[in-house]
Every structure is written in C-alpha cells, then in structure tokens.
Amino acid sequence: MAGEDRSPGTAPRAAAPDETPDLYGAYPRLTPKQIRFLSGHGTRRPVAAGEVLIREGDRGGDFYVILGGSVAITEYYGTSDERLLRLHRQGRFLGELGLLQGQVAFYTAHAREAGEVLVIPVDRLRVLVARDPVLGNLVLRAYLGRRTMLVGAGAGFRILGSRYSSDTRRLREFAARNWLPHRWIDLETDAEAEALLRRFSVPPEETPIVIWREEQVLRNPGNAELARLIGLSTPAADGDHDLLIVGSGPAGIAAAVYGSSDGLATTLVDAFATGGQAGTSSLIENYLGFPSGISGSELAERGVLQARKFGARVRIPAEATSLEPDGGHYRVTFADGTEALGRTVVLATGAHYRRLDVPGIARLEGTSVFYAATVYEARQCGADPVAVVGGGNSAGQASLFLAERVPRVHLLIRGASLGAGMSRYLVDQIERHPRVNVALDTEVREVRGDDTLRSVVVEHIRTKERRALDACSLFVFIGAKPCTDWLSDVLALDDEGFVLTGAEAEARAAPGVWESQSRGCLRLETSLPGVFAAGDVRSGSVKRVASAAGEGAMAVHHVHDHLGHTTAGLPGPGDDLPAPSGRSAAPGGDPHASATDAHPLHMTGGEGR
C-alpha cells in the first residue's frame, strides 16, 4: 500500500482505507520526534507476516511501535471463531490498559504484513511515560480508550449462566466493576449457550462457568480465582508494610499515591474492586481538572496506575476480617486466611448503598434492581422505562445517564424539593431533560414482577395516593451504611457505625493508650494510634470525591507524624479496646475536620443520607 515504505522521520499520515480509524484518541499515531525518542530506549527488529507479537492469555509483554507493515488485533486467534477487532499501520503502538496493570492480554496481535517494529520493555515504558507527560498522557488516554472499547465489544472471557443465578450476578458484577473485558451468555435465552455447554460437557446445573481462550473452563469460580486467571491482583506481599490501606475508593487510592510517592512501602487492598461508590458513577462532571467530566471507573484506574507507578502493591479481592495490634504493628487478617502486617493502617472502606425495605425486592436484585448505574447495568434496560430512587447526586447522575439510553426515567424522591440534597448543576439538567420525570414526596411501596421487574407501585407521602409506574429496572441510591462491621469490637464508632477520629476518638480510647504516645490524637486518627480513617467511612466526613481524596492525602501526612514518634506504646493483643457499647451519638459536625472537608466538589455516592 502506498506510504508503507516511508521512514518514521517523515510527517505522520492519515489512516489508510483499511486501517482502524482513530476513535476518541484510542489509536493515535506517534510523531516522528516521539518515535526517535523511544528508539533510544528500545530495539528495532523485523517481523514476518503471521508473526505473533502479543498472544491472548499471556501476561506482561513488551511495548511495540509499528515502523512498517501492518498488525492485526484479533480475538480467538487460530480458531474457527477468530474475529478481527482492529488493524494498525506505521506509527501506531500496540497494547491496552492490561499491559500497564500486569494483566493478561485479551486479544492476539500478529503481523498481517511483513514489516518492522520497535520493541520497548514495559518496565522501561513506565519510566519513559512518567518522564514525558505529553507522551505519558497520549499512551494512557489511548489505553483507557482501548479498554473501554474492548469492554463494549464483549471481547475477553465469557460468563455463561442463568440471569436468575446469584453466582452469575456475582461474577458479572465483579467483572464489570473491575473493568474486565467479558461477554455474558444467558443460559435462559441465548442460543449459543446450549452449544457451548455441549462443547465443554458441562450440565446446566453446574453453571455459571467462565470460558477463557476456548480451552479453559472454570466452574462457578470465586472472585479470587477469576482475579488470578486474569492477573488482576498482585500476590500477597511478605514482610511488613509501612502503610497498609484497606479500601480503594478515592480516599484509599489517594493515600496509596501519596504514600508510595513518599517512599513508604505501601499496599492497597479491596474486597471487590477499585473506585468504591465513585466507581459506580457513569460521569462525574464537577471533579476538579476534568471540565468535560470523567467516569468513576476511569478516575479510579488513573489513580491506581499512579500508585503502581510509585511502587504501591494492589490486592483485589482481599476482604479484611479483623484488625489487631501486634508488637508495635497492626495485623490485618483477610477472608482467605492470609495476613498482612503494617506499621500504620489507613481505613478507607467507605460505605455501601442501603437496600429498599420493600417486600419481594430481594428476588429482583441483580436482574432488575441495581445499586449502581454504569454501562453494565444500562445494557440490561433495553428500550423500557426505568425508575431511580434517591434525592442525592448519585441519583441525579444516574437519572441523566440512563435518560440517554431509555425512553423514560422516573426519579422518585422522598423529599419535597429536588434541590434539597442535589447539586444545582444536576437540578438544572434534570429539569430541562425531556425524558426525566420527577416525582417528589414519593416512596416505593411495592414491586411487581416474577423473574424481572414489570412495574413499581409508589405512594405520595402526604395524600397517600398510590399508582403503578411501568419500569423494567429500579436503581436505588438512598444513603449509605459504613463498611465497619469487622471493626466494631476494635475501634470507637459513632451510633451509625462510622469511625470516630480526632478528639472524639481519643475520648473513647482504652485507658492509657494516648498517655503512652506523648502526643494527642491526630485529626484523622482513630482510637488506636497509627490507625487512620479517611473518606466516607469516617464519622463527620463530607461525602464528596474531592474531600475523600483530600483526606487520603492528609492521612499520609499523619502517617509521617506518627512514624516520627516512638511506637513503643502501641497496645498489645491482650490490651483493652473500645467495645461496641462505647459509641457516641453521631456528630452533626466534626470540629476536627480538615480544610479539604469543605471542598465543594461532590461525591458520587452517599449524598442521599
């Protein structure tokens, strides 16, 4: 094809007729200057037609820049189901988010025509993109865009199971929340399901199954087993940690970035996925630095990449089940039986949305009732109306996101005013949107439907009038419950279960704990010296993405303060700790709140409280 023999020193050309166009910056062409810069850190080598550069299922690999010829990106390479996804030519680079994250490849890249490539080890690439912000932003934006397209295309592994199975719902949610490319095959309705079950000799009662690379089948795997298959998580680290962070919402990720960049040996763990409640938001429009908005999952991925760049380790899934002092450190035990020791601990476990107290709603959760509004949930709505419950920013953002995909959104608010708990910019958009119908002073009283939702019965609080609204899905954002059940016997909590910090925590601490420290309790410190709380889990915190990130950064500042003092006075395993009865009334305001607490940027979860 004309132009293929051009030197990389010439000006970049437009896409060839058979080349995948550059969609949303996902497939940029490097400039001659960028290629010359990269050439000083890699190796040029020829490639033969048909040579495989990246193989589906392989972990790690190298960063490739195409200098000549063409490279095809395919799924199910070498099988009867092989499918061409993309085609790239001179000046483009290969890879996607999984290359930087250490995950397996979800596709195969092979040379369709003979040519030449520049090969750079991925560890070297991480250093180079950190050194050159323009190049780094180009690569990161492309990789994030490519991951989004892989997810949208249904590439990667397949989950085959019934829509009515709780394990199917668990696997689908785990894959979606961790932004893993996959496709769901419904045992009940998909014609492909029966053929696949016969091919792999799996009876329907042994579903769900995960099919990977047409050769590996996992029968009802746990989340940890699926994570290991994909390379989602790093292995548990031996030895001590300077900083152990439990929870990977905005607060936890910020603490990981600042802790690891300060040189602390940092590990970030989460029971399910990065992002916390913010990760379930389709679009955050009022976060500083992103004038056109950013999805919660992308914000989380960017933060995790930053933390990894500075050396932080990330473990998912890792559900913490206990915390106890141990010889000047803290021991955290996980549900799988593993343990980790930390000189300091930051608790950023956040909160989860409360369930609606409506008869029969439990049977519809996962199929028609959701507590997040992302592309994953929106796909299941089809072209039918939906209902959203809640008066905070999360409900408002979900309503606008869904209104672009369904014909009608019923926004049901218990309060008398749309603006009572929602940001003005969301109120304005909702009032102008022709497909959002707002019902104030309204509560859900009944859900109708056997296997899936057909309608919801709502009641006007003042008039007691009831009516049925057609809705195929119900999205619930009605406040949050802190994830602190595992801490109730260890730390001082308020009456709602949020972690007390600062002077209130010091007042509820076991006798003698703070006297032995020769200092007072720091603003974000709990009733145990060296254990800090940040973000939604902290009593009196402002439920906002920006303030959570600010608290995560401030917690690391406190970590340095703590490590600068002696830790000889830490309580031992047999010392008295605050009991569940040692709770105080939930404060209306925290007199020790940091300056970041007053930040006006809004959180995507928890505003409905």
Q: What is the DSSP string of 417-434?
A: -TTSSS-HHHHHHHHH-T
The set of residues, in sequence order, having a beta carbon less than 8 Å from that of 466 and lying 6+ positions away, is 445, 457, 458, 459, 460
Q: Are 239 and 533 in contact (CB under 8 A)?
A: no
- Among residues 208, 232, 61, 76, which one has the least CA distance to residue 155? 76
- Give the span between the Cα atoms of 177 and 169, in whole angstroms: 12
**Model confidence pTM above 0.85:** no
The stretches in the chain having pLDDT less than 50 are 1-12, 567-609
- Among residues 397, 162, 171, which one has the least CA distance to residue 284? 397
Q: What is the pLDDT of residues 540-593, one digit of tens each?
A: 998 889 999 999 999 999 999 999 875 444 444 444 444 433 444 333 333 333
For residue 473, what is the enclosing H or E element? strand 473-476
Confidence at residue 4, expressed as pLDDT on a 0 to 100 scale: 35
Q: Are 170 and 223 in contact (CB under 8 A)?
A: yes
**Among the residues of 353-463, which ranges form H helices?**
375-378, 393-403, 424-432
